[in-house]
């Protein structure tokens, strides 16, 4: 069998990630590969750290991309900050809080779960009650923007509660970074991780992380070795640290880092506040169209994430058939529900380079057509006009 080159179709990516990637980023990734200790590459690494500090709104020196996807960024935070026997409170309101629990247990820690309804923000009072009941807690972990539901929690308040009880905080900002406010220093977050493929609109495979001075002190004063050699920040900082002479740790994904650098340059050019405003305006246009059709959002307005919109599948409609028709007929990818929401919701992403008025209108028009053909209980022919009104205003 003679296998030929792979040529993927051109899709519109409006699922939970990855998002569409700009031609500027793709071009950057095609530039000549140089060595990962080349002086020119080291200079680019320093720029990368400054660009990520801007994205995270932090002055943390330990801010860098982990050479692996967002899940590895999550693991980097946990393996460095959690030691065997440490008690960690994990607030869960979706799939990814469950993954945090798994990380705690694999580190030998004890996970205390604070559960909230899927599709709702985390309740700070429940966290405080758990901290009072568990005064020996070392770390509080939660997801700022829960990708499985589209719910956004009040990170500043949750971190404040954790610090009242002398706990470090680990915050998942995978879906929020670049698309809605993330203010690491103002909110006093100790450790956070994100992903390159969501609102930063780079290709998957890199995970920006940032650690406060308080978190670094914890890492340096550990009584046990970090269980992962690759993610041990005591070692990684020899390569990503501030010294002009870098020590070899691993061969960095050079061309992927070119891409992330370019995507962060684009974010800087647009301006963080402008990016946040763009995501919000396009979300409001999508919302107007969905509601005009008669479709319902899972998350209440005040707790809703602009860049990840969970919509309830109407009664009698085949979730998978709609997604398949959108992909086959319109080259449009949306996401299915996860966990307890599997088969019950669709997830529409408006992230980064894919967050455009054009994509909002194409998506609404395609959904109107597909649901109409399936005789779904919707109001037809009104969604695009409703969105256009918002975009014009």
- Contact between 198 and 179 (Cβ < 8 Å): yes
DSSP secondary structure of 3-60: PPPP-----EE-SSSPPP--HHHHHHHTSPP--TT-HHHHHHHHHHHHHHHHHHT---
Amino acid 242: pLDDT = 73
Tell me, yes or no, whether 230 and 330 share the same domain: no
What is the Cβ-side half-sphere exposure of residue 340, based on CA atoms within 13 angstroms? Answer: 10
Tell me, yes or no, whether 177 and 29 share the same domain: yes
pLDDT over 70, % of the chain:
99
Tell me, yes or no, whether 200 and 74 share the same domain: yes
**Given 216, 246, 268, which residue is the final one in a domain?**
268
**Given 247, 268, 289, which residue is the final one in a domain?**
268
Amino acid 393: pLDDT = 87
Amino acid 280: pLDDT = 98
> pLDDT tens across 176-231, in order?
999 999 999 999 999 999 999 999 999 999 999 999 999 999 999 999 999 999 99
User: For the whole prediction, is pTM greater than 0.95?
Assistant: yes
- By CB atoms closer than 10 A (0-12, 13-18, 19+), residue 182 is buried
Tell me, yes or no, whether 247 and 282 share the same domain: no
- Does 14 map to a domain? no
Tell me, yes or no, whether 261 and 276 share the same domain: no
Residue 244 predicted with pLDDT over 70? no
Strand, coil or helix: what is 120?
A: coil
Tell me, yes or no, whether 257 and 312 share the same domain: no
- Does 8 map to a domain? no
Q: At how many degrees (to 10) do helices 124-133 and 155-164 cross? A: 20
- Does 154 map to a domain? yes
Tokens of 238: 């020899």
Question: CB under 8 Å to 45, separation ≥6 — which residues?
Answer: 240, 246, 252, 257
CATH number at residue 143: 3.40.640.10
> pLDDT tens across 145-166, in order?
999 999 999 999 999 999 999 9
pLDDT over 90, % of the chain:
96
Tell me, yes or no, whether 250 and 350 share the same domain: no
Domain of residue 320 covers 271-392
- Does 358 map to a domain? yes
CATH number at residue 385: 3.90.1150.10
Say how many domains are in the chain: 2
> pLDDT tens across 308-320, in order?
999 999 999 999 9
**Given 205, 238, 268, which residue is the final one in a domain?**
268
- Contact between 127 and 114 (Cβ < 8 Å): yes
Return the higher-pLDDT residue of 246 and 21. Answer: 21
Dihedral sign from CA coordinates of 234, 237, 238, 241: negative
Residue 237 predicted with pLDDT over 90? no
Mean pLDDT, to the nearest integer, of 115-138?
98
Tell me, yes or no, whether 56 and 134 share the same domain: yes
- Contact between 331 and 11 (Cβ < 8 Å): yes
> pLDDT tens across 63-94, in order?
999 999 999 999 999 999 999 999 999 999 99
- Does 3 map to a domain? no
> pLDDT tens across 16-52, in order?
999 999 999 999 999 999 999 999 999 999 999 999 9
- The CA angle 350-154-283, to the nearest 5 degrees, is 20
Mean pLDDT, to the nearest integer, of 266-280?
98
Tell me, yes or no, whether 208 and 60 share the same domain: yes
- pLDDT band of 243, cuts 50, 70, 90: low
Amino acid 238: pLDDT = 86
Tell me, yes or no, whether 335 and 261 share the same domain: no
Task: Please list the alpha-helical segments (H only) found in the chain.
Answer: 23-29, 39-56, 70-81, 95-106, 124-133, 155-164, 184-187, 213-220, 233-240, 254-270, 272-293, 319-330, 357-373, 383-392
Task: List the end-to-end C-alpha distance of the chain, in Å, as a whole number.
Answer: 57
Tell me, yes or no, whether 95 and 193 share the same domain: yes
Q: How far apart are CA 228 and CA 80, in angstroms?
A: 9
Measured between alpha carbons, how far is residue 304 from residues 25, 283, 361 in Å?
Answer: 29, 10, 20
- Contact between 93 and 123 (Cβ < 8 Å): no
- Does 300 map to a domain? yes
- Does 75 map to a domain? yes
Give the residue carrying structure tokens 């396009």. 282
Tell me, yes or no, whether 262 and 297 share the same domain: no
Q: How far apart are CA 271 and CA 277, in angstroms?
A: 10
- Does 17 map to a domain? no
Instruction: Give me the chain's average pLDDT, please.
Output: 97
């Amino acid at each position: 069998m003679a296998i030929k080159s792979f040529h993927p179709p051109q899709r519109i990516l409006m699922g939970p990630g990855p998002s569409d990637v700009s031609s500027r980023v793709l071009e950057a990734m095609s530039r000549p590969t140089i060595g990962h200790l080349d002086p020119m590459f080291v200079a680019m690494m320093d720029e990368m750290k400054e660009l990520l500090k801007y994205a995270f709104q932090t002055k943390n020196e330990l801010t860098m991309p982990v050479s692996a996807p967002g899940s590895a960024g999550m693991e980097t935070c946990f393996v460095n900050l959690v030691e065997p026997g440490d008690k960690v409170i994990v607030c869960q309101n979706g799939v990814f809080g469950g993954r945090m629990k798994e990380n705690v247990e694999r580190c030998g820690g004890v996970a205390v779960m604070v559960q909230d309804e899927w599709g709702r923000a985390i309740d700070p009072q429940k966290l405080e009650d758990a901290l009072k009941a568990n005064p020996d807690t070392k770390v509080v972990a939660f997801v700022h923007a829960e990708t499985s539901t589209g719910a956004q929690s009040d990170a500043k308040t949750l971190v404040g509660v954790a610090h009242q009880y002398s706990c470090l905080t680990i915050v998942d900002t995978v879906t929020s970074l670049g698309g809605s406010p993330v203010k690491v220093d103002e909110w006093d977050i100790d450790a956070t991780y994100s992903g390159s493929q969501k609102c930063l609109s780079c290709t998957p495979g890199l995970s920006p992380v940032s650690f406060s001075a308080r978190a670094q002190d914890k890492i340096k004063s550990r009584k046990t070795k970090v269980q992962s050699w690759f993610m041990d920040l005591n070692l990684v900082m020899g390569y990503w640290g501030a010294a002009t002479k870098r020590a070899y740790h691993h061969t960095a994904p050079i061309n992927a880092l070119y891409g992330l650098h370019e995507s962060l340059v684009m974010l800087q050019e647009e301006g963080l506040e402008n990016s946040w405003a763009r995501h919000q305006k396009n979300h409001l246009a999508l919302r107007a169209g969905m509601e005009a059709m008669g479709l319902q959002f899972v998350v209440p307005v005040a707790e809703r994430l602009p860049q990840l919109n969970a919509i309830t599948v109407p009664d009698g409609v085949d979730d998978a058939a709609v997604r398949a028709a959108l992909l086959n007929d319109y080259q449009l990818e949306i996401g299915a529900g996860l966990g307890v929401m599997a088969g019950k919701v669709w997830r529409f992403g408006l992230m980064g380079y894919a967050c455009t008025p054009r994509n909002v209108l194409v998506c609404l028009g395609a959904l109107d057509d597909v649901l109409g053909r399936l005789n779904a209980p919707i109001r037809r022919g009104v969604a695009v006009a409703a969105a256009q009104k918002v975009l014009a205003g």
